[in-house]
Each structure stands twice: as structure tokens, then as C-alpha cells.
Structure 1
Amino acid sequence: MKIALGVEYLGTDFHGWQIQKSGLRTVQGVVEPALSKIANHPVRVFCSGRTDAGVHAQEQVIHFETQTTRTEGAWLFGGNANLPSDVNFKWAKEVNDDFHARFNA
């Protein structure tokens, strides 16, 4: 199954969206572990567009694939429980297998 989420974040303390080899704090670097805890397996997220260091987002669309069955509310509230205060999931929705955040958001 494929899950899409709307993400908002304050980018002030982030070094952009994409995980950095240098280990700098990134949005993807906090979102993936939060969702992985709920999915009980490593999750890789795809976003509608990467942001640079310091950039904020109000409703960036992301998606990931999982075999774990959860309600949309469980993905939303469970994910938020594992996120830092400067990142928040606004909504979660199961989407068709052909959905991709980069091309369909």
C-alpha cells in the first residue's frame, strides 16, 4: 500500500529536505525514522519537491510504501508522536499505487 502525507515544518534548524552524507539535520532525516517506528520497518519517503536549508513548508506532499496496515489516523497521530516540535504531519491518506508525490501532488 502507498500512503501520502502533508508535512509542515519550520526549516530554520534544518539543512534542507534531503538526507546529507555529512549527518546534518534534515527534514527527511527526521521524517523517515518517525514513520519507520509506526511501520515497524525502514521507510523511505519521496517528496513533491526538495527544499534548501532554512526553507519552511506549510503542506509539502510526501509518500511512502508499506505492507503495514494502519488507519490513516494511526499514520498521522503515530507519526506526529515521533516527530520533533518543528515538523508536523497535517493529514494522511492511502493513495493508488500509481501515485507519486513528485508528479501527482
Structure 2
Amino acid sequence: MIYVFVVDTSASMNQVFSHGLSYLDCAKSGIEHFFQWEQRRSDRKGNKYVLIDYSDPPGCIKAGVHDSIPQLLLQLKTLNATDISNPGKLFTLHLII
């Protein structure tokens, strides 16, 4: 199975919840928790993962299907909410697997 994580990195993701976390921090945390859950599963062999943000293609692919999970998590931690909100370009992106 291929999991694609599309993370909104537009500047609006810098908004902060009442408990001090930004929207982007919450999105990152959700993906990290997914991988903690995923590592406990016995049927995850062969799964592939892609991390995409809102920067312009092809730079929006932060980690592709051939990258390791630690590489994806490292790229996830470095995401910043500074891009212009234009998800339309993402939907024209073709991933070669």
C-alpha cells in the first residue's frame, strides 16, 4: 500500500491553537503518531510512503517511495509554514512509482 501525506505548508498553518501548538505542529504530530502505530503492525511490509508539501513541484516531494521512514520523518520535522496556498498545482503532479 502507498500512503501519501500532503501537508499544508501555507503561511496560514502558523495559526496557533489555544494550547500553544500551531496547525502545522498538529499535522506533523499526527503523521508521527501514524508511524508509531504503523511500526506495531505486522502486515506493514511492502508499504511505501510519500511526503508532499505546498511548495512548487517538483520540490514539493520531500520524501518519495524509495526513501526510508527515518528520512521521511526527518523531512517532516524540517517543514515550515511559509508557502503560498496553491494546492491546485499539487493535483497535476504525477508520481512515478
- Give the TM-score of the pair, scaled to structure 1: 0.29
Question: Higher helix share goes to which structure?
Answer: 2
Please tell me whether Structure 1 or Structure 2 has the larger radius of gyration of its CA atoms. 2
Question: Higher strand share goes to which structure?
Answer: 1
Higher relative contact order (CA 8 A, sep 6+): 1
